Amino acid sequence: MFFGGKYGHGMGGFQGGDRIAPTVTSSASASVEENATLAHALTASETVTWSIVGGADAARFEISGSTLRWAANGTKDFEAPDDANTDNAYVVNVRATDLSSNVTDQTITITVTDVAEGPVLGPELVVNGDFATDSDWTLDQGDSACTISGGELHAGVEEQSFAQQSIVLPAATYHTVLIVTAIAAGDVGVGVGTSGTPRTAPGTYEEDIVSAGGTGIAVGFSSGAAGNGAVGSVSVRQVL
């Protein structure tokens, strides 16, 4: 009985007898590009279950099986970090629990890296920007030699400017595309409250212009008897 009891105690100890805490073998740090999901594999020296037990950014994570992910399997925006101190380094404490409830915690830092992203543009602000019809544009100044025909805006020989009403916000940046199809002399430019660079040769010109504000988008040809030319299209979209 004595030995049996001792063995019995020993058997009981065997059943719960793993007293060695697991070793976490996966990395305590990783980096991931913005706009991408996170799949940081969690591994240990023995069979474990994983849980999140703390860390400044615990709420920004979730664990699916043995994969550490962003909460709701989402993504991060480098330009708008939502970690506790907004430095794009997200800190979480994970816990590995083995079959005998031994635990080992690990602090993991996931760093979000920047990706060069194109500008986000708002909707097109120009109506009839390809001059498909003789409408929408108002001749602000100049003579009647200015016409819209053949998908182009044609200017005569005086200073001329065609405009259309559109809300243009002060200090906002507008991405403009101007296609100049002909320049006999002088120059032509697009304006969004502030004038863009005068163009003196045919070509496609993209330019971001910071607006002084106003209610007009305009295409203006230079003053003087020598100025004339044609424009094939104009586009203005706010840089958001």
Site for Ca ion contains 62 (CB under 5 A): no
Residue 79 binds Ca ion, judged by CB under 5 A: yes
Give the nearest distance from C-beta 182 to Ca ion in angstroms.
39
Q: H or E stretch including 12?
A: helix 2-15
Question: 58 φ, ψ to 5°?
Answer: -55, -40
Distance CA 217, CA 208 (A): 14
Contact stretch for Ca ion (CB under 5 A) within 85-93, 135-143, 153-161, 164-172:
85-93
What is the helix, strand, coil percentage profile of the chain, to 5?
10, 50, 45
- C-beta of 104: minimal distance to Ca ion in Å? 9
Does residue 201 come out as left (phi exceeding 0), alpha (psi in the -120 to 50 range) or beta? beta
List the one residue from 49, 85, 133, 197 that touches Ca ion (CB under 5 A).
Answer: 85
20 binds Ca ion (CB under 5 A): yes
Residue 96 engages Ca ion in binding (rule: CB under 5 A): no
Which of the ranges 4-12, 61-69, 73-81, 121-129 carries the binding residues for Ca ion, by CB under 5 A? 73-81
Does residue 231 contact residue 150 with C-beta atoms inside 8 Å? no
Tokens of 84: 């506790």
Please tell me the distance from the alpha carbon of residue 171 to that of residue 209, in angstroms, as a whole number. 9
The one segment of 96-104, 162-170, 186-194, 216-224 that binds Ca ion by CB under 5 A: 96-104
98 touches Ca ion by CB under 5 A: yes
Shortest distance (Å) from residue 33 CB to Ca ion: 9
Contact region for Ca ion (CB under 5 A) — 7-15, 95-103, 121-129, 163-171? 95-103
Q: Binding segment for Ca ion among 75-83, 119-127, 169-177, 213-221 (CB under 5 A)?
A: 75-83
Q: Is-contact 75 35, C-beta < 8 A? A: yes
Per rule CB under 5 A, is residue 87 in the interface with Ca ion? Answer: yes
CA 144, CA 156: separation in Å to the nearest integer?
8
Give the DSSP letter of residue 191.
E
Is residue 125 within 8 A of residue 176, CB to CB? The reply is no
CB of residue 216 to Ca ion, shortest distance in Å: 32
Least separation in angstroms between residue 175's CB and Ca ion is 17
User: Where along the sequence are the contacts to Ca ion (CB under 5 A)?
Assistant: 18, 20, 77-79, 83, 85, 87, 89, 98, 102, 114-115, 117
